Amino acid sequence: MKRLFGSKKEVPPPPSLTDASSGIGGRVDALDEKIKKLDAELRVHKEKLKTAKGGAKKLATKRAMSCLQKKRMYEKQRDQMADQQFNIEQASFAIDTAKDTVTTVAAMKSANAQLKKQYKQFNMDEIEDITDDLADMMEDMNEVNEAMGRTYSTPDDLDEADLEAELDLLEDELEAEELEGDAGPGYLQADNLPSEPSGGLEEGKEEVKDEFGLPKAQEA
């Protein structure tokens, strides 16, 4: 069969946008090199035109004009190729964006299906009951904490003015006690001490002491 009808020729795959952009970019670079060479040649011709006269000047002018025409042609070709490369890059960017969009949509569909599957496991009534129970428990705990932190020895009907007056009275009492402490006990005051005996030792008599070194009372 293959001998009668022949085999189908394999069709090569079409060039990708990346290959096309690379090929055009190479051509643009080649045109830029040609333009640079023409610029250098034009500078030489300009220098010759400054000093040339007569036929030499005409010849230099003709060559400069030819060089300038080539430069304008290459620049036009380069601009066209650059525009083509830009269009190819824009098309490649659009294709990549489309691929990314397809991937994003597929991921969103998968996430949506998973979310629906997970959502079916939720019971909103049960969740509301749980939250209500938690709120009630927190309120009960607050009441318990308030009850446990209550001070039993402090009456509820105390007046701040009475407390301030009592505090002032206590401060006065403390100041009076401090003054009494500085003066010493009452029995040590000068008014309460016994008077110094007027009679002293008789002349010519030595003071008699006991075995402990204390003065011994003399017999009358």
Phi, psi of 179, rounded to the nearest 5 degrees: -65, -45
Nearest partner of 75 among 103, 39, 44, 40, judged by Cα = 39
pTM (predicted TM-score): 0.45
User: What pLDDT digit, counting tens, does each position of 1-31 carry?
Assistant: 455 555 666 777 777 888 888 888 899 999 9
Terminal-to-terminal C-alpha distance of the chain = 174
Token digits for 204? Answer: 């010519």
Residue 52 neighbours by CB distance under 10 Å: 15
**Cβ neighbours of residue 109 closer than 8 Å, sequence gap 6 or more:** none
**Between 147 and 201, whose confidence is greater?**
147
Residue 194, phi then psi, degrees to nearest 5: -70, 150
Q: Which amino acid is at 133?
A: D
Is 215 strand, coil or helix?
A: strand
- What local confidence, expressed as pLDDT, does residue 79 receive? 93
Residue whose token pair is 């607050």: 142
Q: Ramachandran region of residue 143, left (φ > 0), alpha (ψ -120 to 50) or beta? A: alpha
- As beta bridge partners, residue 215 has 209
What pLDDT is recorded for position 94?
93
What CA–CA distances, in Å, run from 149 to 137, 143, 145, 153? 18, 10, 6, 12
- Is residue 53 predicted with pLDDT exceeding 70? yes
pLDDT digits (tens, 9 = 90+) for 95-148: 999 999 999 999 999 999 999 888 888 788 888 889 999 999 999 899 888 888
Rounded alpha-carbon distances, angstroms, from residue 67 to 53, 63, 76, 81: 20, 6, 14, 21
- Give the Cβ contact number of residue 82 at 10 Å: 16
Single-letter amino acid, residue 210 = D
For the cut 70, the answer to whether the pLDDT of residue 210 exceeds it is no
**Band (195; pLDDT cuts 50, 70, 90):** low
Distance CA 131, CA 120 (A): 19
Q: Is the pLDDT score of 194 beyond 60?
A: no
Angle between helices 17-51 and 55-119 (to 10 degrees): 160
Is 209 strand, coil or helix?
A: strand
Q: CA-CA distance, 220 to 182, in Å (whole number)?
A: 44
Residue type, 92: S
